[in-house]
Structure 1
Amino acid sequence: MLSTMPPVGFGLWKIPKEDTANAVVEAIRAGYRHFDSAADYGNEAESGEGFARAITEGLVTREELWITSKLWNTFHSAEHVEEACRKTLADLQVDCLDLYLIHFPIALEYVPIEERYPPEWLFNPDAAEPEMRPAKVPLHQTWHAMEALVEKGLAGRIGVCNYNTGLIHDLMSYASVKPSHLQIESHPYLTQEKLIRCAKGYGIDVTAFSPLGAQSYFELGMADAGESLLGAAPVMVAAQAHGKTPAQVLLKWGVQRGTSIIPKTTKPERMRENLAIDDFELSAVEMAAISALNQDRRFNDPGVFAEAAFGRFHPIYD
C-alpha cells in the first residue's frame, strides 16, 4: 500500500452507476492513483469493477492505489462499524482500505444492509411522513470501533470528515489510534484556515472536497451559477499569467496550501487537465489574492440541505 496519499485524487461522488467502472479505468489510465469513495455515493460496487478491470488489464497494481471510503451515518453504533466496512470492502473488491473516514459527525438509526443499501438519510423513505431519525450514539464509541478496524487489518488508517475544531480537540483527547486525515469542504470561498491549522497542529493531514467550489452543486440546486469561482478575477489573472485554465489554478491553490484535493469529472480530457498542475507555482501574491475571495460560503451544509430535503433542521456548523 502507498505510504502517503497522492495530493490530487479522483472523487467518485455523483458519478452515475452506469458510468462509474469506465470512469475509474479512464482515471487510472490518466494517471490517478488516489480514489475517494463512500458507501453513500451508491456506486462502490461499480467502482470495484473498475479497480478489478484495471488491475486485470495490468494498468495498475493494488499496491499502487490509495482507496478511501467512508462510514455512513446509520452505521455509527459500535456493533455496526465493522459490518459497514466489510460491505464496502466487498463492493470495492479489496481486502483493506488505505483510509476509512467517519462521513459525518451525525448518528442516525440503523438500517440493515439487506433492507436498504445505501441507507441514505431517511429512516423510512416509503412512509406517509418520512423522517430523518437521529440515534443516541456518542462519537467516541464510533471512533473506538473504527480503531478496531485498524487492529484487524481492514483499514490502514482512519480519520474523519466534516468535523469542526471542537470535535477535533475532543477526538484527540480519547483516540488511541490517532486520526490520520480530516476531509472537509474547502475552496477559495471557504478557506477554513483555522480548522486546517488546528488539524495540522495535531499532525492530521487535510483533504479538501469540492476544491472547485460551486461546480458540484449547480445540478443539485445548492449553488447559483453566479457563484462559480472559475470567473473570479484573481483566478482568471493567475490562469492567464501561467497559461493554465481557471480550474487548474484553483486546484493548484488547494495543493499549494498543503491540502490534498479530490476533483471529480467523467471526461478523460478533464481528468488529464486536473492532474496537470505540477509544472507551475502560484506566487505568494497570487495565493493571497485567491485566498482573499473567502466568504465562508459553505455549499455542503446539513444545516441547510437536511431541512430542505428531509424535513429536519440538523446543523453541525455554527
Structure 2
Amino acid sequence: MTQVPEVKLNDGRAIPQLGFGVFKVDPAETERIVTDALEIGYRHIDTARIYGNESGVGRALAASGVPRDELFVTTKLWNDDQGTQSAFDAFDRSLDQLGLDEVDLYLIHWPAPARDRYVDSWRALEAIRESGRARSIGVSNFLVPHLERLLAETSVVPAVDQIELHPAHQQPATVAFAREHGIAIEAWGPLGQGKYPLLELPEVTAAAEAHGKTPAQVVIRWHLQRGNIVFPKSNRRERMAENFDVFDFALDEVEMAAITALEREGRVSAHPDEVE
C-alpha cells in the first residue's frame, strides 16, 4: 500500500495530502466508484451535501472493511443551510446520510456573502467541533476578505481553505494569507476541470515525457510539491489508479518553475462573491 504523505493542520490533526473527490459523481454510481478508490488505496474522501451522494459514500465506507481510524472523510455545509440552527440540522443530516458518528473535516462550502451568514455558520461549526462530531473545521472558496472577517469576529482559525487551484489559477493572494495564518490549502479542480488545456501545454507535456508519466500525473505532482492537499476526481478505475501513482518521481526546480509560470488568473468556476 502506497504511503500517502500527510499535512499537519493547525489544530494538531493530520490530513492525507492526496484524496479522492466525488463532485458530480452520479449518486447511483457513487458506491461503486468510491469502492474502487478505496481498493486502489485512497483513504481521504471529499464529498458535500449538495453533491447528493453522501449516502453512496457512506455505503462504500461501511462495506470496505477499512478501519474508521484509517479514513479521512470531509463533507460540507451548503449555502441554503447557512445560519446557526440550520447548520446544526444540516450537519446532523449529513452524518445520517454518511452513516457516521463523526466526520474528520466539515467545511462551509461557499462564503455566499450576499446572505451574510457565514460568520454565524462558522460559530455553529465551532460548536460542532467542540462536540467532537467534526474533528476539524474549515472553509471552501473563501477569499482574503472572507478569511479576514472570520479571524476578526470568531475564535477558531479554519484548518483548511478548499479553493479552485491549478497551474493557470493559483490564487497567490489567498494562498499567501492562508499560509501566513496556518490555514492549509486544498485544491479542487486541480487539473483545470478540462476547461483549460493544461494537459496539452508544452511545460507539462515535456515534464511528463522526461519522467515517463502522464501530463495529469505531472500536474498532481506539482500540487504535492507545492504543499497543496489535492483530490483529483475520476469515474474510471484506471484513471483513479493513475492519479494515485505519483509518489515514485519528483519534478526538478526548472520543471516546477515552468509549470508555476503558467499562472494567468484562469478561473474556470464562478467567483466566490457571486455564488449564492
TM-score, structure 1 as length reference? 0.80
Partner in structure 1 of residue 200 of structure 2: 231
Alignment of 1:138-217 (within 5 A): 138-215=117-194
1:298 maps to 2:267: yes
Partner in structure 1 of residue 4 of structure 2: none
- The counterpart of 1:29, out of the listed 16, 35, 39, is 39
- Report the Cα offset of residue 315 of structure 1: 2.3
Say if 1:214 and 1:228, in contact at 8 Å, map to a contact too. Answer: no
Say if 1:239 and 1:245, in contact at 8 Å, map to a contact too. Answer: yes
1:10 maps to 2:11: no
Task: Render the CA deviation track for 1:140-178: whole Å, top value 9, x for unaligned.
Answer: 211111101011122011100111112112211223222
Partner in structure 2 of residue 250 of structure 1: 219
- Report the Cα offset of residue 302 of structure 1: 4.6
Letter of the 1:198 counterpart: F
How many residues end up aligned between the 2 structures? 264
Task: Render the CA deviation track for 1:84-123: whole Å, top value 9, x for unaligned.
Answer: 011111111111110000000116xxxxxxxxxxxxxxxx
- The counterpart of 1:72, out of the listed 58, 62, 78, is 78
Task: Render the CA deviation track for 1:118-144: whole Å, top value 9, x for unaligned.
Answer: xxxxxxxxxxxxxxxx64x44221111
Partner in structure 1 of residue 91 of structure 2: 85
Looking at structure 2, the residues matched to 260 and 140 of structure 1 have their Cα atoms a distance apart, in angstroms, of 25
Partner in structure 1 of residue 5 of structure 2: none
Task: Render the CA deviation track for 1:220-264: whole Å, top value 9, x for unaligned.
Answer: xxx3xxx32111110000001111100000000111101010100
Alignment of 1:64-143 (within 5 A): 64-106=70-112, 135=115, 137-143=116-122
SS of equivalent to 1:156: strand
List alignment gaps of at least 5 residues for structure 1: 108-133, 216-222, 304-313
Letter of the 2:243 counterpart: N
Say if 2:108 and 2:118, in contact at 8 Å, map to a contact too. Answer: no
RMSD: 1.5
SS of equivalent to 1:67: strand
Looking at structure 1, the residues matched to 55 and 142 of structure 2 have their Cα atoms a distance apart, in angstroms, of 27
1:62 maps to 2:72: no
Say if 1:214 and 1:229, in contact at 8 Å, map to a contact too. Answer: no
Identity over aligned residues, as a percent? 40
Looking at structure 2, the residues matched to 238 and 194 of structure 1 have their Cα atoms a distance apart, in angstroms, of 27
Looking at structure 1, the residues matched to 16 and 259 of structure 2 have their Cα atoms a distance apart, in angstroms, of 23
Say if 1:81 and 1:145, in contact at 8 Å, map to a contact too. Answer: yes
Partner in structure 1 of residue 55 of structure 2: 45
* More strand as a share of residues: 2
Letter of the 2:130 counterpart: E
Looking at structure 2, the residues matched to 260 and 300 of structure 1 have their Cα atoms a distance apart, in angstroms, of 19
Looking at structure 1, the residues matched to 88 and 49 of structure 2 have their Cα atoms a distance apart, in angstroms, of 13
Task: Render the CA deviation track for 1:157-207: whole Å, top value 9, x for unaligned.
Answer: 110011111211221122322210110000011011221121011011110
Letter of the 1:172 counterpart: L
Looking at structure 2, the residues matched to 92 and 139 of structure 1 have their Cα atoms a distance apart, in angstroms, of 24
Looking at structure 1, the residues matched to 227 and 149 of structure 2 have their Cα atoms a distance apart, in angstroms, of 24
SS of equivalent to 1:70: strand
Looking at structure 1, the residues matched to 197 and 105 of structure 2 have their Cα atoms a distance apart, in angstroms, of 31
TM-score, structure 2 as length reference? 0.92
SS of equivalent to 1:157: strand
* Structure number with bigger Rg: 1
Structure with larger RCO (C-alpha < 8 A, sep 6+): 2
